[in-house]
Structure 1
């Protein structure tokens, strides 16, 4: 097996004669989070699942703090997988920070990454007055990292309902908390800093891929202003707001977003 495919725990399923979909998980998660959408997607597409190095069942010994202290390191994982599988005409569905990671990868491979479907994305979680409200002050995030250092399990239990949405099922909230807890704390903190302290607003205007933005109406991590800002700054983009709570529409509202995704891809193929 190719080293990259083993390193990133790459799995392929679905139709070999169809367009390729790569499913890119968010911070503190792994490829298993896509299981609700997978059966329907496999009917229409060749699906590529993977774990970023440091997440899920990837090869942890290949993890490097230097490489993965910025989102460019994670984008390299995507580019490496595309190269190892010799893919062309790829659509990436990215959850949360993976929307930006996929965007970075698309700048390196605009001729290959044709479409990006962004599930609850944000290019910057920090407030940047006067014209951008990312949702958090610097001090808010520093406090979150302080909790992470002092009580990692407590941090995971605090963050999980915030991310999943407090009204969602205890089982899904517990699953996300468990996923956070199972991630190596050094890996989690490095990924979290790369996610929450970065600002990638400047690259939005350079994205050449066709983009679908799926925004939750009530999302503690990415508010409506963020989705609107992205739609205004990505040239070939479409924003759809889902009447839902939480940051994980692919898990909580998969039945609602699947027809939107299929319609978008049918139009853009």
Structure 2
């Protein structure tokens, strides 16, 4: 899919796309919930000499700044956005590196147009965050979710601090959690709450087996958002899935342990 020039330009502007390097295969980095393209820079810039590195923002990662409210209500919309972006770049044989639910957005895009993708690299992904009566353990209960939403209504500052604390865990430098909490605190609380509930209640388990593109899962230890049970389930349901445990902790190892993530990604790209 190659887009009309004006449409392509609008797409690139909407996602604030930056391209580093000019040759080699395309390597697209997608930030997760609450993050922007800067979160990937410590890793992505290392590949600019060998790849056409693409950095982007998700629309609902910055739409609140424009007063647009919560942009999308499901990850399929993000998958469609990725396909449009690849059309705007006229990119083929792409490796998508997505953090958290952005990785699932890449997977949904690959289901729709597998010919465009070389592989997917999913960093700390989950197909389902809530526990399920069937025995699936996603890590969160309905009570956990309701408690978070109640805290948001009572004390928004404490709410964003809890979200940031869960993202980085107890082992990371506290400055990372403070920076994320500060960024989240600037967003509209109602819109942020809507997006959080949508993300924590999404269920893409049934979609995993439909992806024919090779997937590598990079997972850190002590991830408060993604327990090992959720990781094991996700990998087991992929047709062509491999799991690499990182010597890192927390849900955001590309920020706290960029060297570890970069080395793991280099190994993946060599295969």
What TM-score does the superposition give when structure 2 sets the normalisation length? Answer: 0.91
Query: Which consecutive unaligned segments of at least 5 residues does structure 1 have?
Result: none
Match among 189, 192, 201 for residue 193 of structure 2: 189
Q: Alpha-carbon deviation of 1:150?
A: 3.0
CA distance in 2, matches of 1:115, 1:32: 23
Corresponding residue pairs, total: 264
| Counterpart residue number, 1:89 | 93
Query: Tell me, what secondary structure is at the counterpart of 2:97?
Result: strand
Deviation at 1:177, TM superposition (A): 1.3
* Distance in 2 of aligned mates of 1:100 and 1:151: 31
Instruction: Report the CA distance shift for 1:216/1:49 in structure 2 as closer, same or farther (over 3 A).
Output: same
Cα gap change, 1:256 to 1:158, in 2 (>3 Å): same
Return the offset for 1:114. 2.2
Q: Distance in 1 between matches of 2:64 and 2:133?
A: 41
SS of the residue aligned with 1:173? helix
Q: How does 1:133-172 map to 2 (within 5 A)?
A: 133-172=137-176
| Corresponding residue of 1:129 | 133
- The residue aligned with 2:58 is 52
Runs of 4+ in 1 over 4 A off after TM superposition: 58-65
Q: 1:141 to 1:222 in 2, by over 3 A?
A: same
Secondary structure, aligned partner of 2:202: coil
Q: Tell me if structure 2 keeps the 8 A contact 1:125–1:134.
A: yes
Please tell me the root mean square deviation across aligned C-alpha atoms, in Å. 1.9
Task: Kindly state the Cα deviation for residue 237 of structure 1 after the two structures are TM-superposed.
Answer: 1.1
Judge conservation of contact 2:64–2:188 (CA < 8 Å) in 1. no
Question: Which residue number corresponds to residue 19 of structure 1?
Answer: 25
SS where residue 119 of structure 2 aligns? strand
- Equivalent position to 2:203, from 189, 199, 205: 199
Aligned pair 1:211/2:215, yes or no? yes
Task: Give structure 2 stretches of 5+ with no counterpart.
Answer: 1-5
TM-score, normalisation: structure 1: 0.92
Against the structure 1 CA distance between its residues 225 and 166, is the aligned structure 2 distance closer, same or farther, given a 3 Å change threshold?
Answer: same
Instruction: Give how far 1:173 is off.
Output: 1.4
Is 1:92–1:102's contact at 8 Å kept on the other side of the alignment?
yes
Tell me what 1:39 maps to.
45
* Aligned pair partner of 2:17 in 10, 14, 39: 10
Q: Secondary structure at the match of 2:114?
A: coil
CA deviation after TM superposition for structure 1 residue 162, in Å: 1.2
Larger mean CA deviation between 212-221 and 124-133 belongs to 124-133
State yes or no: 1:243 paired with 2:247.
Answer: yes
